[in-house]
Amino acid sequence: MPNPNPEYDAAWSRFLATDSLTFVPETLESAWAHGRERYLAFLIPVDDAAAVAHLRPIAERIGSIPGIESYPEDYWHITVKGAGFLVDEPSGSDELSVSAVDAAADHAASILDGGEQFKVTLGRANGFPEVIFMEAWDGGDVRRLNTALMERIPALPRYPFDGPRFLPHISIARFTSDEGLPRVKAVLSELRDSPPGPSFTATHIDLISAHLSAAAPTFELLRCYKLSG
């Protein structure tokens, strides 16, 4: 599958030009998290054997660079739609109660359950100021689902990167300092010259609660939506 989205190239150009990264403590203490620990998301787990085998040496190589921390394999995923924070007493537009999550999960079933399975190809290595990622070339299916969830479930927060700006990706590492930034740019530039990786089929989408901490987030499965063959 050819690279379907020129916005990946734009993201790469921005990353090459950046000298300002976002480190783990800043993410956890930012206004985005603001002390909240349980972040909700619809996502596609990346657990296909060929995909994992392709990503593993890349993550290991990146993780050997100073200032880079690789995510564990069980964290690898493609976010479909961020769903806000689970809190006891919601007070903001990006917060949901347990009952609101249950209602949103039921509503999502009418959008996701029985939807068509689709192929994802592991594209090139790339970077945001927060993470190093692999491009997920999917022909627009993830963006389509992101838009449907955003538009049809009013309880879900609307983020600036949703809808037409949504860029599917697989985060493989995060930054703990800027010590290795020149090296990581060089390694990613080299990796981008490699051919795309294997393709895998997205067979289901999970609604999870991610427990945020200084360590890599851990996921609690709340609902699984099966896609049809």
Quick one: pLDDT at residue 93? Answer: 86
**Which residues are CB-neighbours of 160 under 8 A, at least 6 positions away?**
none
Beta strands in the chain (DSSP E): 38-45, 68-70, 77-86, 95-96, 118-127, 131-137, 169-175, 199-202, 204-211, 218-226
Q: Which of 98, 123, 92 is nearest to 1 (CA)?
A: 123
> Tell me: the pLDDT tens digits for 147-164?
999 999 999 999 999 999
Contacts of 210 (CB under 8 A, 6+ apart): 38, 39, 40, 41, 217, 218, 219, 220
The pTM of this model reads: 0.92
Instruction: Inform me whether the pLDDT recorded for 38 exceeds 60.
Output: yes
Q: What is the DSSP letter of 47?
A: -
Domain ranges of the chain: 7-209
- CATH fold, domain 7-209, is Cyclic Phosphodiesterase; Chain: A, (3.90.1140)
Tell me the average pLDDT across 190-216.
90
pLDDT at position 34, please? 65
Tell me the pLDDT tens digit for each residue of 21-30. Answer: 988 655 544 4
Mean pLDDT of the chain: 91
Residue 67 CB contacts under 8 Å (≥ 6 apart), including other chains: 175, 176, 177, 178, 179, 180, 181, 184
